[in-house]
Structure 1
Amino acid sequence: MKATVTWQPSEEGLEFNGAMDNGRTLSLDGNGNGLSPMESVLISVGACSSVDVVEIMRKSRQDMHGCYCELSAERAESAPRKFTEIHAHFVVVGNDINEKQLARAVQLSTEKYCSVMLMLTGNVNITTSFEVKSS
């Protein structure tokens, strides 16, 4: 996997385009006008872990109709302003969802499968919770 991040000169001066070697792109902005690099990391935590949760729940034959992950994070007060805490709250929408299966899916994602969370382990206190909503 390879990527290139290219500065986009402008008056504000902190816009960047990221391009993967497969052609996919992402725009990031250090000015606060668009998605910041740290915001993209937080979203990546939720997306990566949600992929795992959905796949595990599907394999468990759960009648899911929706899944979303609400994230909150705290950052250090001074530079480098890295994340110190991240909480991921998973909400699964469906019929007769087995909460033990969902707890297992969240745990497996957090401890075994989510590469983004696992990359941060040891540097960021990551906690999770979940709830089921009937559809």
Structure 2
Amino acid sequence: MKATVVWEPSEDGLGFEGEMDNGRKLKLDGNGKNLSPMEAVLISVGACSSVDVVEIMRKSRQDMHGCYCELDAERAESAPRKFTKIHAHFVVQGNNINEKHLARAVQLSTEKYCSVMLMLTGNVNVTTSFEVQEK
């Protein structure tokens, strides 16, 4: 996997475009027009772990109709302003969802499969919770 990040000179001067070697692109900046790099990391935590949760729940033959992850993060007060805490709350919507399957899916994602979360291990206090919403 390879990527290139290019500065896009402008009046505010903090825009960047990242491009993967397969041509997919993402705009980031430090002035609020696009996601900041830290916002992108936080969203990546939720997306990566949600992929795992959905895949594991599907393999468990759970009747899911929706899944979302609410993230709450805290950052250090001074530079480097890294994340100190992230809480990921998973909400799974469906019929007759087995909470034991969901608890296991969240645990497996957090401890074994989510590469983004696992990269943060030892540096960020990551906690999780979940709930089921019957549809």
The two structures share one fold, judged by TM-score above 0.5: yes
Within 5 Å, which residues of 2 pair with 1:41-60?
Answer: 41-60=41-60
Match of 2:121 in 1: 121
Match of 2:73 in 1: 73
TM-score by length of 1: 0.99
* Deviation, structure 1 residue 32: 1.8
Q: Give the whole-Å Cα distance in 2 for the aligned partners of 1:83 and 1:31.
A: 19
Which structure 2 residue ranges, 5 or more long, are not aligned?
A: none
Would you identify which runs of 4 or more consecutive aligned residues in structure 1 move more than 3 Å? none
Match of 1:111 in 2: 111
Within 5 Å, which residues of 2 pair with 1:91-102?
Answer: 91-102=91-102
Match of 2:38 in 1: 38
Q: Give the whole-Å Cα distance in 1 for the aligned partners of 2:20 and 2:34.
A: 19
Which structure 1 residue ranges, 5 or more long, are not aligned?
A: none
* Deviation, structure 1 residue 34: 1.6
TM-score by length of 2: 0.99
| Percent of paired sites with the same residue | 85
Q: Give the whole-Å Cα distance in 1 for the aligned partners of 2:32 and 2:96.
A: 42
